[in-house]
Structure 1
Amino acid sequence: MKKLSAVLLSSALLLGACGSNDDHKDNKDSSKDSDVKSELKQATKDYKSYTSKELDKFLKGTEDFVKAVKAEDMDKAKELYPKVRMYYERSEPVAEAFGDLDPKIDARLADMEEEKKADEWTGYHKVERDLYERKAITDTTKKDADQLLKDAKELHAKADTLDITPKLMLQGSVDLLNEVSTSKVSGEEEIYSHTDLYDFKANIEGAQKIYELFKPALEKKDKKLSDKLEKKFAKVNGLLDKFKTDDGYKSYEEVSKAQRKEFADAVNELGEPLSQMAKVNQ
């Protein structure tokens, strides 16, 4: 076997020395592909670290939120509600990988009614209704808050077991934008609190983080696409910045129909090239 290996190695060296320009190009392409694979591996590692930190903050924020609810501190609970949810929305591609937990934490009543499971409704939006529409913290609210914290802890524990892949990240970035452009831009997500702009910003940040992690590899594959994505993200973020306040974002009720359409159009314009980012994994 050693002898055969030596012959093969010699032949390879000879062919390499006498190769054509095409051989040289193939070697360059092979090296480029190797670099891309290495960058994809690093991107998945960095994304796991990013989402892990976001879910750490989500759990801690949920603990504080539940503490405020159980103390019947309405003002504190309302202050925390949209800000804590941003950690969840940024890392939703990971949360959604656990199909049973995501709806328990994040389902809307309309979703549950559509599935004829309204009596099983739990999570942030159920507590949101009591805080913003019913304007009352009851014993039931406190029980719902306890269940929310239990589910947040389970998600936090399970997230460490998830195998992060480029496919999960790529699909996740598109799903984050789809959520904004379909259900969220209409105001359906935060129907009681009207804190939709916090969700929008977090979803955009989550998608942009995935783009930024893939950017070194994408620029090797398609520099023009990368540049286009950067401009489209800047446009969407610029529109969101118009509604910033000193400590967050304005109520979605203050956003006109024309402004909502402008934002939806910008998100859709971003979604098309974002879906093309899949070429980085091909």
Structure 2
Amino acid sequence: MKLLKVSGILLLSSSLLFGCATMDKSTSTDKVKETKNTASEALKGVTDEYRKYAIGEIEDFVKATEAFTTAVKNGELVKAKELYGPARMYYERAEPIAEVFGDLDPKIDAREGDVPEAEWTGYHRIEKGLWMENTTKGYEQFAEQLMKDVNLLRAKVETVEVTPDILITGAVDLLNEVSTSKVTGEEDRYSHTDLYDFAANVQGAEKIYHLLNPALKKKDKELSNEIQTRFDEVYRLLNQQKNGNGYKLYTELTEAQVKELSQAVDALAEPLSQIGIVTEAS
């Protein structure tokens, strides 16, 4: 489910903006410009806040990846397994920004079969060794490369201009990713730590919702409340699958539980997709 481009959303006709088709042309044009400028300023404040949030998540991702890759290089199998799921959550929350870099995302997050075998590196490459081969031996080089790629991501993220399009479409894209790949269990197919990624994608979408919610409430309080209710339902279901500070293995969920989660995410994505339309001139 894709949202309309923000640039297109903002260009509403003067009659829709002011409910008056009889105003003279010059006045109408001035009002449209004024409304567009106000909307752009409001959205700029939101995008600036999101940029800070995303950079903060990437900074934490660097630290978590350093701990994970150090464990791999030191041969600490149990510790590496424990750190794998939680470390990935920072990346998953900030994915709308992280995926801007099309060259780095596959190196960090490609699954087996997404890229040629000779080019396959990153978290999932190491995941296969930890769980399928039950060893860190031979994966030190992948740990070294992963750390280099994550550090490069942190450096590059400073150059990102967060546009309203990235922000608004990002929320729904995160949920679509959950419903198309996370819910099938194919993301973390060896470790079965999919619920960590699942939860992080939802949290990332919720952050965007919270940033846009003040403007949304002014326009459509009912929609705002519905979205929050849908988020609460997804979290209620996720909390049922908690295991201490983490989550159960995805393979421990029943078919009915997976279906319920999937339906809850789909039910959230539909109203969330309307945020861009409703807040166009906030």
TM-score range, shorter chain: 0.7 to 0.9
- In structure 2, stretches of 5+ residues that fail to align are 1-19
Deviation at 1:30, TM superposition (A): 8.8
CA–CA distance in 1 between the matches of 2:172 and 2:107? 22
Deviation at 1:78, TM superposition (A): 0.9
Q: For 1:151, what is the secondary structure of its paired residue? A: helix
Matched, 1:130 2:160: no
Matched, 1:80 2:78: no
Counterpart residue type for residue 171 of structure 1:
T
Q: For 2:243, what is the secondary structure of its paired residue? A: coil
Alignment correspondent of 1:106: 109
Alignment correspondent of 1:69: 72
Match of 1:244 among 242, 245, 248: 242
Identity over aligned pairs, percent: 49
Q: Which structure is richer in relative contact order (CA contacts within 8 A, separation 6 or more)?
A: 2
Q: For 2:184, what is the secondary structure of its paired residue? A: coil
1:246-265 mapped onto 2 (5 Å cutoff) = 246-265=244-263
Aligned CA RMSD, in angstroms, stands at: 2.0
Largest Rg, 1 or 2: 1
1:1-282 mapped onto 2 (5 Å cutoff) = 36-112=39-115, 117-139=116-138, 141-279=139-277, 280-281=279-280
Counterpart residue type for residue 144 of structure 2:
D
- In structure 1, stretches of 5+ residues that fail to align are 1-19
Deviation at 1:32, TM superposition (A): 7.4
Counterpart residue type for residue 119 of structure 1:
A
Deviation at 1:29, TM superposition (A): 9.6
Counterpart residue type for residue 136 of structure 2:
I
Alignment correspondent of 2:17: none
Q: For 1:99, what is the secondary structure of its paired residue? A: coil
Counterpart residue type for residue 74 of structure 1:
L
Deviation at 1:265, TM superposition (A): 0.5
The aligned length equals 255
Q: Please report the TM-score for the alignment, with normalisation by the length of structure 2.
A: 0.85
Question: Structure 1, residues 144-172: CA drift from partner, whole Å, max 9, x if none?
Answer: 11110111011100001000011101111
Asked if the contact 1:194–1:252 (Cα under 8 Å) also holds between the matched residues in 2, the reply is yes
